[in-house]
Amino acid sequence: MGSLVVIIIIAVVAFVGVRGSRRNREHWLSQLDLPGSWEWEEHDGTLELSGRLNEGRYRFRESSATEEGNWRLEGHSLILTPDGDSQVQAYDLRYFAEGKIGVHGPGREQRIYVKTPSNVVHLHRGSSQ
């Protein structure tokens, strides 16, 4: 009987812990508010992210170069998979303040992006058209 009580207590603690972690992640994702257009703070360039709060499509525009592909978040890492390239690129994503993030990694060292304000609301289309 005593071991059953211990198992129930452990299950309840695990459930509460997982639920709390999920809520914290959802709160962090809503604070980041990644989908939208981000301007490179000190240079000419943009990062456009579309999709959900934790994954979707991206487009980098810098000078005359453009790169497109899929993005997703894994922990505090921004994972980019360029179209036509199987090589995945991982970048550290840092949240500074509302509308201001840092991206750090190969080829994009210590870049700060500021979100471009927009009054456009993107609607997701269903599978039936």
The pLDDT value given to residue 128 = 47
Q: What is the pLDDT along the chain (129 residues), one digit of tens a residue?
A: 788 888 888 888 888 877 877 787 677 777 788 999 999 988 888 999 999 989 999 999 988 889 999 999 998 899 999 998 778 899 999 988 888 999 999 888 889 999 988 655 555 555 444
Positive/negative CA dihedral, 113, 118, 121, 125: negative
79, burial (CB in 10 Å: exposed 0-12, middle 13-18, buried 19+): middle
